[in-house]
């Protein structure tokens, strides 16, 4: 492919040389050398923030890794923190320190990295604090709460020159790398359309009411960077996903993974147009995002990504609850965390590749092999300086797509965007949604 972008060629060359064992993207390979001074040659000490579900998977995984130690556990809920301490102590020699305030862990010069699995409104502020403290960061998706945060977290990484790995673990999956290589070799001709989807059967979150803050929960720290509001009984610990003050909706919660695969496989960055339709159909409750959404992203060269969300209707697509399909001029492919299937134009299977045991795509904890590979990729990069498979400068582009999909839905208008940076063009009202309000004590600054 003579006009193939450099990033695809670099990826295939590097992945081929490593037998796809160490996966990199061109963005990592082309990035300036990261200053690794002060990071460990053999042993890495991490602090893990946010331990109710996903973060505990990370903590246990790092505790089991050779030459890794979970030095701190961070959570604003005392009960969650105590359970996490018991779980981690069971798999590593020595108990980690515990704190409800990440700043205590960041003050410890012996900590090499912060792992962030806190709610979305904490992602960028915590990352920037960690970078300023000289720590590397493993950051769960999405990168930020809004497009502004997608930009400033990249600026902070470039300024403080520490590694930031985004938790889009498909970037470390060998089957995804194989498919990426096959697409580059023309297995389905020229790819032009990707459809990404997610289907679940979430139930109502009800109508919340004001209530006393539960004993052991530091609600002030839980709110952190967000503007203050009284405690309500249907927010903590999971339903914050569906409130705009703290969460980012299904498109960022699960769509990030599938849209990231679509963007990766199509080789696109920022769109030229974004539009969305859908709504909250299933329940009359406090949920503030669509439970059903179809968002379309158009790119230069005629390529397109379509995101389809079914938060409350589990009807599968291609027999899969979540995944990505790519249409090409000579065929198509369907891929998810369990493998991929390539079809010709008459829908005949050309190749089918499985990834072993099937996974539950709606499991909110996500304790799976891809996660382990992705964490190992981060640990290896911190120790050796090897390229990350999901560096934040690339992951922020996927996050921005998701946020633009939300803004298009909230405004009900077609967004025209700059393909160089994703900025909204000619719509002042929509552009006002680029950045959220902060509590003054926690406003992130680079």
pLDDT digits (tens, 9 = 90+) for 76-133: 999 999 999 999 999 999 999 999 999 999 999 999 999 999 999 999 999 999 999 9
**Cβ count within 10 A of residue 362:** 15
Q: In 3D, which of 304, 225, 219, 278 has the Cα closest to residue 406? A: 278
Q: Are residues 189 and 132 in the same domain?
A: no
Predicted TM-score (pTM) of the model is 0.91
Q: Please tell me the distance from the alpha carbon of residue 415 to that of residue 425, in angstroms, as a whole number.
A: 7
pLDDT for residue 359: 66
Q: Are residues 400 and 382 in the same domain?
A: no
Which domain CATH number covers 248? 3.30.360.10
Q: Are residues 147 and 200 in the same domain?
A: no
Q: Domain range for residue 413?
A: 174-205+237-362+394-442
In a domain, 228, yes or no: no
Q: Are residues 421 and 302 in the same domain?
A: yes
pLDDT digits (tens, 9 = 90+) for 371-427: 999 999 999 999 999 999 999 999 999 999 999 999 999 999 999 999 999 999 999
pLDDT for residue 358: 65
Q: In 3D, which of 2, 3, 20 has the Cα closest to residue 11? A: 20
In a domain, 416, yes or no: yes
Look at the block and give the residue holding tokens 């190749």.
Answer: 351
In a domain, 372, yes or no: no
Q: Are residues 167 and 182 in the same domain?
A: no
Which domain CATH number covers 155? 3.40.50.720
Q: Are residues 273 and 140 in the same domain?
A: no
pLDDT for residue 53: 87
In a domain, 261, yes or no: yes
Residue numbers in the chain where pLDDT is lower than 70: 1-41, 355-366
Q: Are residues 146 and 283 in the same domain?
A: no
Q: Are residues 387 and 333 in the same domain?
A: no
Q: Are residues 197 and 321 in the same domain?
A: yes
- List of residues 6+ apart from 208 with CB closer than 8 A: 232, 233, 234, 235, 286
Q: Please tell me the distance from the alpha carbon of residue 363 to that of residue 352, in angstroms, as a whole number.
A: 24
In a domain, 36, yes or no: yes
Q: Are residues 383 and 286 in the same domain?
A: no
In a domain, 299, yes or no: yes
Q: Are residues 292 and 258 in the same domain?
A: yes
Distances (CA, A) of 334 to 257, 298, 331, 420: 14, 20, 11, 29
Tally of structural domains, the chain? 2
In a domain, 339, yes or no: yes
In a domain, 226, yes or no: no
pLDDT for residue 368: 83
Tally of CA atoms within 13 A in the half-sphere of 272 that contains its CB: 7
Per-residue tokens: 441:
């004590």
Q: Are residues 118 and 249 in the same domain?
A: no
For residue 184, the SS3 value is helix
């Amino acid at each position: 492919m003579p006009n193939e972008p450099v990033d695809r060629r670099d990826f295939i060359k590097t992945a081929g040389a490593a037998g796809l064992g160490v996966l990199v993207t061109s963005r990592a390979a082309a990035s300036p050398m990261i200053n690794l001074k002060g990071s460990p040659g053999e042993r890495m000490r991490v602090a893990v923030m946010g331990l109710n579900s996903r973060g505990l998977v990370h903590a246990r995984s790092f505790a089991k890794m050779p030459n890794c130690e979970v030095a701190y556990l961070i959570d604003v809920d005392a009960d969650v923190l105590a359970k996490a301490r018991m779980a981690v102590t069971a798999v590593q020699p020595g108990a980690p320190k515990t704190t409800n305030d990440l700043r205590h862990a960041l003050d410890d010069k012996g900590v090499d990295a912060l792992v962030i699995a806190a709610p979305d409104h904490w992602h960028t502020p915590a990352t920037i604090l960690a970078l300023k403290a000289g720590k590397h960061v493993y950051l769960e998706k999405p990168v930020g709460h809004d497009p502004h945060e997608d930009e400033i977290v990249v600026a902070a990484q470039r300024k403080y020159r520490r590694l930031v790995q985004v938790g889009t673990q498909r970037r470390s999956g060998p089957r995804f790398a194989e498919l990426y290589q096959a697409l580059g070799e023309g297995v389905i001709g020229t790819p032009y359309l990707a459809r990404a989807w997610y289907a679940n059967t979430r139930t109502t979150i009800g109508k919340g009411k004001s209530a006393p803050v539960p004993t052991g929960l530091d609600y002030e720290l839980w709110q952190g960077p967000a503007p203050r509001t009284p405690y309500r009984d249907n927010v903590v610990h999971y339903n914050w996903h569906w409130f705009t003050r703290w969460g980012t909706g299904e498109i960022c919660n699960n769509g990030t993974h599938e849209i990231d695969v679509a963007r990766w496989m199509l080789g696109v960055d920022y769109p030229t147009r974004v539009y969305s339709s859908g709504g909250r159909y299933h329940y009359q409750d406090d949920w503030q995002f669509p439970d059903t959404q179809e968002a379309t992203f158009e790119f230069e060269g005629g390529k397109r990504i379509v995101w389809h969300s079914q938060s409350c209707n589990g009807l599968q697509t291609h027999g899969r609850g979540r995944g990505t399909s790519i249409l090409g001029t000579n065929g198509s492919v369907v891929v998810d965390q369990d493998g991929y299937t390539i079809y010709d134009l008459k829908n005949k299977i050309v190749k089918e590749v499985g990834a072993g045991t099937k996974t539950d795509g709606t499991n909110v904890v996500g304790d799976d092999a891809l996660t382990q590979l992705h964490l190992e990729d981060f640990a290896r990069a911190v120790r050796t300086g090897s390229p990350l498979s999901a560096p934040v400068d690339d992951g922020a582009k996927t996050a921005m797509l998701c946020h633009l999909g939300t803004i298009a839905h909230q405004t009900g208008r077609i967004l025209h965007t700059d393909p160089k940076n994703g900025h909204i063009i000619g719509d002042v009202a929509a552009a006002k949604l680029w950045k959220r309000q902060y509590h003054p004590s926690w406003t992130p600054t680079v």
